[in-house]
Structure 1
Amino acid sequence: MRHLLVAAGLMTAMAAATVAAADTPVLTVYTYDSFVSDWGPGPAVEKVFEQDCGCDLKFVAAGDGAALLARLKLEGARTEADVVLGLDTSLTATAAETGLFASHGRSPVVDVPNPVGEPGAWGDPLFLPYDWGYFAFVHDRVKLPNPPKSFEELVESDVSIVIQDPRSSTPGLGLMLWVKALYGDKADTIWEGLSDNIVTVTPGWSEAYGLFLEGEADMVLSYTTSPAYHLIAEEDDSKAAAVFPQHYMQIEVAGKLAASDQPELADQFLGFMLSEAFQSLIPTTNWMYPAITPAAGLPDGFTAPVAPDQAVLLPPEDVAELRDEALAEWRAALSK
């Protein structure tokens, strides 16, 4: 009889757990691979948010940033995503045209030095920023003590580089726009010159940076903040960002899907994303500048090598007009 009572008790407990799990709402957030890695912000964000939301926060890694938008276009209104985190302002105009996103209803004041608008003001009704940074070529200062200091110097050098595909990767798209913004109609000439320096083109940032760390190339397209990771997490000061006259900015954003079946939870998450709890995680997990500077400030390793007046950023609507032309130039040069 005792065994029967124990078995009955276990079955009751299991049934209760199943009911509780079924009653727990799930918030699905599509994001890029590195965000949910063991060293990325995803695990900590999930732990902190779930303490207050009474929900199950489910991150789904979907490649790199540009791949997120491609997946959403494919899934359409049938997508399981409630929130997408990992697009940037190079993609927001195209993302808005899909009609898949809903207004966030917020007007936050952020610490993003926006070259194409009033610093601090954020007016995009569909997408909210959570971090930002400057693209740069990262190198090992021991192996390459005198890196190129401009695209022209890079073209003239025999320095090898790894870059990302602009069709799937936001850093790859950022590089393509960086070249287009600086050189305009002569961008194809720069790409033709760079084609000899490029070792390979990877789908996303993680693959490219891994190849660089394995010694497959002298430099990799990354961020001015990437050396801070090595300095703070590994106590390794051998990595540096090559400083060019101008650097393209990236502002990463998140948005709520109009078809979400958890709109209130999605709104709660977007609010949490701009909170001290979330923003304080960004510098030493996503290794970017937070959209809102934490009360404790930034780690010492985040001294900016690039001044705000060196920043380049095309407005989202200009990107939508230039992207096809820039991509055609990129593909033509790299196919020769």
Structure 2
Amino acid sequence: MFKTHLTTVAGLCFCATGALAEVPVLTVYTYDSFVTDWGPGPAIEAAFEAECACDLQFVGNGDGAALLARVRLEGPRTDADIVLGLDTSLIAEARQTGVFTDHGVETVFDLPIAWDDQQFLPYDWGYFAFVGNAGADAPKTIAELAVSDIKIVIQDPRSSTPGLGLLMWVQAAYPDDSQAIWEALADNIVTVTPGWSEAYGLFLEGEADAVLSYTTSPAYHIYAEEDETKTAWAFSDGHYMQVEVAAKLASSDQPELADQFMAFIVSDGFQSVIPRTNWMYPVVVSDAGLPDEFQGLTTPEKSLLFAPAEAASIRDAALEEWRAALSQ
């Protein structure tokens, strides 16, 4: 009888193990801040797993530009089913890799620009801005910042989408004077970090007067800390827009599950999480609208954005200007 009992238990264990092994796994490469406890990842994982009967695994990999570098290196052998965290400045380069396929999602976006890309699906958007302390004598343009004594922290454009966004911002606002702007900005820069999280942390620790971030960043402090001392500086020469996107890998071994997640991205289960975790604007606004802390944020008078192909065409030259200015 004792032997029979052991056999039964062993059988149950085998069945349970077999059942667990059959749970499909969906792997999503994204940036580090997305998967933190305070980021969107945990809530989105729980919401999607409640629908999919699957194991959704987010894999953090530095910042947005680093994601593309990893996927390009891994190619069709990548473990990723979806990459989430590229943006408009990287779309053309990402498309050239040939590793992505159509997402098949159709919806109406709440975006300030038209969107019809069949491979890259937007999930949030915002405007880059320098965030500083309220009450400080804030500059009114990038050029004014560059000739000031204000100390800033920025991100590396080779690994970070905000860092690359600043390169595009300078090019869009000062197409004929971008090199001079970078030469003037060089002595304002305290340090260059690999990603957004490190840079914002240094600013909060008082290591700089301002940090490259987003017009929506102060909403976090208002909501989470009841702190209204952080503000996004409004620049009259414009603010560069960022649209963050997700894309499905053609090599995915879970294509139907990947399609389900891509459709989930534009659902309320995903979009409602974005404002108070990623602190960006959702691409599909719910009937309830945006949270209260998003009211009264800095709204750019002038919006700047290169089309993906144009951003790709000027990236190398812009990066060389940046390198040369910071190496002096």
Inter-partner Cα distance in structure 1 for 2:214 and 2:32: 17
Contact kept in structure 1, 2:128 and 2:241, CA below 8 Å:
yes
Match of 2:200 in 1: 209
Map of 1:17-36 to 2, 5 A cutoff? Answer: 17-36=16-35
Match of 1:221 in 2: 212
Contact kept in structure 2, 1:247 and 1:306, CA below 8 Å:
no
Q: Does 1:199 align with 2:198?
A: no
Match of 1:318 in 2: 310
Match of 2:230 in 1: 239
Percent identity at matched positions? 63
- Aligned amino acid, residue 312 of structure 1: L
Q: 1:262 aligns with which of 254, 262, 266?
A: 254
| SS in structure 2 at match of 1:185 | coil
Inter-partner Cα distance in structure 1 for 2:227 and 2:138: 19
Match of 2:73 in 1: 74
* Structure 2 residue runs without a partner (length 5+): none
Q: Structure 1, residues 261-301: CA drift from partner, whole Å, max 9, x if none?
A: 11111110010000011101100011000001112110111
Cα 1:213/1:307, change in 2 over 3 Å: closer
Inter-partner Cα distance in structure 2 for 1:7 and 1:171: 59
Inter-partner Cα distance in structure 1 for 2:277 and 2:146: 33
Q: Structure 1, residues 50-96: CA drift from partner, whole Å, max 9, x if none?
A: 11111110110011000000000100010000000000011011000
Match of 1:300 in 2: 292
Inter-partner Cα distance in structure 2 for 1:296 and 1:274: 16
- Aligned amino acid, residue 107 of structure 2: P
Q: 2:122 aligns with which of 121, 124, 129?
A: 129
Note the C-alpha offset of 1:304. Answer: 5.5
Inter-partner Cα distance in structure 2 for 1:148 and 1:235: 25
Contact kept in structure 2, 1:168 and 1:204, CA below 8 Å:
yes
* Structure 1 residue runs without a partner (length 5+): none
- Aligned amino acid, residue 175 of structure 1: L
Cα 1:231/1:305, change in 2 over 3 Å: closer
Q: Structure 1, residues 128-150: CA drift from partner, whole Å, max 9, x if none?
A: 000000000011215xx221121
Moved more, 89-98 or 102-111: 102-111
Match of 1:44 in 2: 43
Map of 1:265-284 to 2, 5 A cutoff? Answer: 265-284=257-276
Q: Structure 1, residues 156-188: CA drift from partner, whole Å, max 9, x if none?
A: 211100000000000000001000111113101
Q: 2:152 aligns with which of 161, 164, 175?
A: 161
Inter-partner Cα distance in structure 1 for 2:276 and 2:8: 46
Runs of 4+ in 1 over 3 A off after TM superposition: 4-10, 304-309
TM-score of the two chains, using structure 1 as the length reference: 0.94
Inter-partner Cα distance in structure 2 for 1:232 and 1:305: 13
RMSD, aligned CA: 1.3
Note the C-alpha offset of 1:215. Answer: 0.7
Note the C-alpha offset of 1:47. Answer: 0.5
| SS in structure 1 at match of 2:138 | coil
Inter-partner Cα distance in structure 2 for 1:45 and 1:136: 27
Inter-partner Cα distance in structure 1 for 2:27 and 2:246: 13
Total equivalences in the alignment: 327
Q: 1:141 aligns with which of 134, 141, 145?
A: 134
Note the C-alpha offset of 1:6. Answer: 5.4
Inter-partner Cα distance in structure 2 for 1:18 and 1:218: 54
Match of 2:244 in 1: 252
